[in-house]
Amino acid sequence: MKNYRDKVIVITGSATGIGFSLARQFGNEGAKVVVSGLPSDDTEGAVRQLNELGFAAVCKSCDVTDRAQVEELADFAWQEFGRVDVIVNNAGVAQDPTPIMDMDLDDFRRVHEVNLYGVLNGIQIFGKRFIDQGTPAAIYNIGSENSLYPCVPAAHAYVSSKHALLPITEMLAEELPEYIEVALIMPGLVKSPLTAAIGIGMDTDDFTSRVLDQLKAGEFYVVSHAYNKVRLEERCAKIGAAFDQYAPRYEGDDEFDIRTIVNKWSGRGS
């Protein structure tokens, strides 16, 4: 989406951190922003700051794990502005690194409820309305460098929740009408409440400025931390070496390629 002027943008988990910084970035572009967060978040304070900067912003509490509340968030946004153009599924939680053998599976589910199912609620509820609305729109999901490779040792719930967003967002882009853009934003270590205990990271506004440039350019994979490429290439090299040794390429090896087979069955292939 090249121009956000007068676009209506809903951002979950945007009272602080990356979400709030994105709200300022979109506000600078002339967008109208709906700030959302848990009842315990100071969403009203975030809106006051945005309003003081001259931005059009309102707020609505929402727990993204509660589908009814996400529906209410969408209702609120459409009632306030008459339409919505962008949903940023940003709300997320971290976890204390714990070896998988010792991890409480209730804690595992809690992380997935927010980071994965909360995003799915946003995708489905806003996405269906975007389709019915029939105008250019966008769904932006906040993944992580952990969407590309496991980078936080023993953070099984967090890493797997963000890893799952990669194929979900890729398939979403294939399924939606062309007038609905999709992007996966993959922050590395960025200063935010989630990283406060570490105390280091890329400046939040620097990060979101990079994000905005890529979104305006229509990029799907939105990246930021250069060294991620090293880790990604290391992982791909190891996988590639396994194929080279145990499943090397041969003439006609697409005979069992599921994409080729599905395309033939659906009539999209030759």
- Residues with catalytic roles: 158
Q: Alpha-carbon distance 78 to 85, whole Å?
A: 10
- With CA atoms as reference, report the closest residue to 92 among 48, 137, 37: 37
Neighbours of 69 (CB within 10 A): 18
φ/ψ (deg, to 5) at 182: -135, 140
**Lateral strand order in the sheet of 8-11:** 56-61, 32-37, 8-11, 86-89, 137-142, 180-185, 221-222
Q: What is the DSSP letter of 61?
A: E
- With CA atoms as reference, report the closest residue to 169 among 151, 150, 144: 144
Q: Alpha-carbon distance 241 to 52, whole Å?
A: 56
The length of the chain is 270
Query: Is-contact 77 60, C-beta < 8 A?
Result: yes
72 burial level (CB within 10 Å; 0-12, 13-18, 19+): middle
Count Cα neighbours of 264 within 13 Å in the Cβ-side half-sphere: 9
- Residues whose CB is less than 8 angstroms from the CB of residue 56 and which lie 6 or more positions away in sequence, other chains included: 27, 31, 32, 33
